[in-house]
Structure 1
Amino acid sequence: MVIKIMRILIVEDDQILSHHLKSQLSELGHQVQCAGTAEEGLFFAQNYPNDIAVVDIGLPDRDGISLIKDMRKKGLRLPVLILTARANWQDKVTGLEAGADDYLVKPFQKEEMVARLSALVRRSAGFVKPEMSAGDIRVDLLAKQVFVGETLLELTAFEYDLLEYLMRHSRQVVSKQRLLDVLYEDQEGDPNTIEVMISRLRKKFMSAGQDNPISTIRGQGYIFELQAQ
């Protein structure tokens, strides 16, 4: 069962493998972006909101280890899963020491990859259970439901995705453009849509007896004020 919709960056120069991974992960509802070189992967990692990166060690312009080191030097904290055809322990240790979080040896099963990705994303956000909470607000990540106390909030799919992202980045200012990227991926989105959804979320929280947890930071974006855990 898919725990959450993940935004996955795949850095893999094997076009057939990259295509299969994108197709398989997209069928499960995940948002997948593919890069064929280390430089392209670094660009996507820096400029798009990804939850996790899958990096092949053998890339045409430079190896994936140096890419991971660059990502960490630039302050990119998203978890990284290494794909490698090398099964010896020295290569695995080298990858982990470079800043990767886990590795998968080719060939692998799709189910194993999905399980590894889901676990890494939950762990990186500080959530080891399939739910998170903030005060009286509880999010069931499996059912994609939000409760205030015992009251179930009736949310649209976009409202849920927006709230989950804000809670995963609680007490951090998230720009409107980043939220647009989260909801629409590569498509063009109307910034007014974000304002409308934030307004609806606030009203639904207040109707359930919850003080508004989402603040607007003028000129910067939005912040979920409560600490999620």
Structure 2
Amino acid sequence: MVENKPAVVVLDYGSGNLRSAVRAMERAGAEVTLTSDPDDAMAADGLLVPGVGAFEACMRGLRAIRGERIIARRLSGGRPVLGICVGMQILFERGIEHGVETEGCGEWPGRVERLQAPIVPHMGWNTVEPPAGTRLFAGIEEERFYFVHSYGVRDWVLETNDRTPDSHRPLVTWAEHGGDRFVAAVENGPLWATQFHPEKSGDAGAQLLRNWVSSLVQ
């Protein structure tokens, strides 16, 4: 556990079982507040953006509290944000569900679309493929994590070049379900996110959240 507890806000925009996210962050060593207040969200050491359900519904709820502006303002100041499940998906440019296309936060290019697998939803425990240099998966690179989703980002389109500083090179973790590969997590400067649910992933998920909380005090 971290000696000096960092302050984490779990952003309340009406999405999902927020109490489980709060409890998981408290167990990870954070001082947690559940709120939609923009001043509190901006002042916190870390901002957790949860999300379950449909992309369009989550974006509607997020926009109702101007959550996309809170996320953008934090990131422009280099202040950490962690997205979970649909809270990761809405960070991309757009989502397409049942023929409906919805604009996302646009922090990363790319689209969220239905998985091309024989069995959907993808529900259960799955290994992931973290890249070298990961901090989010430090010590848990070989573990399994719990997924519940029918949609994901199947192509990573953010380009870098040889002159891009290492600190600005996104670290993308992949997973596979039914022969279809999708983005399972991203570490990109102050913006980290997971498609799976760390709060439902047992000891491995708890360690992942501790890794993030520990990064807030460095």
TM-score range with shorter-chain normalisation? Answer: 0.3 to 0.5
Larger radius of gyration: 1
Q: Which has the higher strand share?
A: 2
Taking structure 2 as the reference length, what is the TM-score of the superposition?
A: 0.40
Higher relative contact order (CA closer than 8 Å, sequence separation 6+): 2
